[in-house]
Structure 1
Amino acid sequence: MRRKPVKSSVVRSIGYDPESKTMELEFSDGSLYEYYSVPAAIHRRLMEADSIGGFLNRFVVPGYKSRKI
């Protein structure tokens, strides 16, 4: 999955596959996580958030299943 670099102290890059609704995040420490069944609107809001880490912890982490890859 192709990821786009983002300006965040927590997240380095974010990718999204609209067909599978899978979002992939590369964190600043180099770890990679996939989040599943993420609506396109959540991905868009994350990309537009003033605080990517804050949005991630408030809406994505508690709301969607994930796994480290």
Structure 2
Amino acid sequence: MTNVLVFRTNINSDKRIHQAACRLCKLRGICRWSIDLEDSDCVLRVETDQLTEADIIRLLTRAGFQCDSLN
């Protein structure tokens, strides 16, 4: 079963999306992800069947991004 995890981030530009993509693509278990630059919270949505919110938050904060759960 695929879960949709939703996060508030500071990924607010194409450059930062590219930087985050380099990290997210290294994780197994992500089916699809997207970032809404139009939203004031720069919402990241991750579809996964294996990962937890903590996994995503840990990965992105270690990479220097702000990332908080919106669920």
Same fold per superposition (TM over 0.5):
no
| Structure having greater relative contact order (Cα 8 Å, sep ≥ 6) | 2
What TM-score comes out, normalization by structure 1 length?
A: 0.36
What TM-score comes out, normalization by structure 2 length?
A: 0.35
